[in-house]
Amino acid sequence: MFKPKYYLNPETLRFEKVSLPFWKRIFNTSAGFIFLVIVAAGLRIGFDHYADSPKVTLLLNQNKNLKSSYQYLNDQINRSEKLLAEVQKRDDHFYRAILDVSPIPRSIRDAGMGGSENINDLLLNRSADFVLTTANQLEKLASRVKIQSLSLEELSEIAYHKQKMIAGKPSIQPIAPADSFWLTSTYGVRSDPFTRGRRMHPGIDLAGRIGLKIYATGDGVVTEASVSRHGYGKEIIINHGYGYTSRYAHLHKIMVEPGDKVKRGQHIGLLGSTGRSTGPHLHYEVLYYGKPLNPMYFYYEDLKPDEFSEIVAQASAN
């Protein structure tokens, strides 16, 4: 505690004890105490500031790691965005061009990229800027990926139908080019061989020996395989889908049944002379929604015998 203070009394010439009033002594004691408290608090603040406690050091390290993790995430997002941009470019300028579909407008591609208020509301005041940035980037990326995935889904659907339509469309001749046959009647108005009157001939006649192999000209499903009531004799009708059907008439033998799925180049019957026929020939028709079209427009006459054989081989492999 405080040491007693002395002073020289000029009258007595002796050192005498200084006696302070009680309130002054209390004040001196309190001032000392307050001073000590201030010094201690100062030291504590200084210590906290310059020398981190183990807990603070741990948190700081964790924060540093977190920041670098976010940086890594951002890099990954940037890389994914670049890849996605490439896919979008290919989608618009290649896939859509091939399938004859217009590119997706920019406005749709960027849909949902404007505001990310949801994220902001959720994270505001609780997260650092770098967390918000990453969250925003991720949201934009997810929205663009979703649109891209819908686009690819649509294109795959279109491609499937195009492929099916191409496979179905009657596009080869019904008799192998290597076989001996000749065109005896073309499509259009002609004089009827029976009545001699002018009459529409809705297909082509290909003459050849009885028993010549007849092939399906496109993929499809057999809808008729019976004797016609309209003079076509033994006939096969194949539905190729997308409005196309084909008819093979005056057959000697039918080798498929209604409901059979057939492939282009599949052997379906034999050439004959059944029904209203003047000699062994195939009457071949192509119809679009029931309306006859010129079958000559539907096959490549320059298809070489070995190419035709290849199609036949593929059909029988199926």
Separation CA 219–CA 315 (nearest Å): 9
Nearest-approach distance from CB 245 to Zn ion, in angstroms = 16
Q: How far is the CB of 250 from Zn ion (least distance, A)?
A: 8
Decide whether 92 or 205 has the Cβ nearer to Zn ion: 205
The backbone torsions φ and ψ at residue 3, rounded to the nearest 5 degrees and listed phi first, read -80, 145
Least Å distance, CB 242 to Zn ion, is 25
Q: How far is CA 318 from CA 64, 120, 244, 314, 315, in A?
A: 63, 58, 22, 6, 5
CB closer to Zn ion out of 203 and 265 = 203
**Of the listed pieces 6-14, 40-48, 189-197, 276-284, which binds Zn ion according to CB under 5 A?**
276-284
By rule CB under 5 A, what count of residues binds Zn ion?
Answer: 2
For residue 53, what are its two tokens?
A: 């406690």
Residue in the block written with tokens 């003047």: 278
Q: Using the rule CB under 5 A, is 283 a contact of Zn ion?
A: yes
Closest residue to Zn ion: CB criterion: 283
Binding segment for Zn ion among 16-24, 27-35, 215-223, 281-289 (CB under 5 A)? Answer: 281-289
| Contact flags string 158-197 toward Zn ion, x per CB under 5 A | ----------------------------------------
**DSSP E strand boundaries for the chain:** 6-9, 14-17, 181-185, 188-191, 198-201, 204-208, 213-215, 220-227, 234-241, 244-251, 253-254, 261-262, 267-270, 281-288, 291-293
Q: Per the structure block, which two tokens stand in for 312?
A: 């036949």
Q: How far is the CB of 286 from Zn ion (least distance, A)?
A: 13
Pick out residues in 69-98 that bind Zn ion (CB under 5 A).
Answer: none
Looking at residues 195 to 254 of the shown chain, list those that interact with Zn ion (rule: CB under 5 A): 205
Give me the least distance between CB of 190 and Zn ion, in Å please: 9
d(Cα 300, Cα 173) in Å, to the nearest integer?
8
Task: Give CA separation, 205 vs 122, 164, 282, 283, in Å.
Answer: 76, 28, 6, 5
When the beta carbons of 190 and 261 are compared against Zn ion, the nearer one is 190
Instruction: In angstroms, give the least distance from the CB of 168 to Zn ion.
Output: 23
Q: Which is nearer to Zn ion, 144 or 283 (CB)?
A: 283
Question: Which residues make Cβ contacts (< 8 Å) with residue 106, sequence separation at least 6?
Answer: none
Q: Shortest approach of Zn ion to residue 318 CB, angstroms?
A: 30
Nearer to Zn ion, 168 or 269 (CB): 269
3-class state of residue 304 by DSSP: coil
Query: Cα(262)–Cα(170) distance, rounded to whole angstroms?
Result: 12
Residue among 220 and 233 whose Cβ is closer to Zn ion: 233
Chain residues binding Zn ion by CB under 5 A are 205, 283
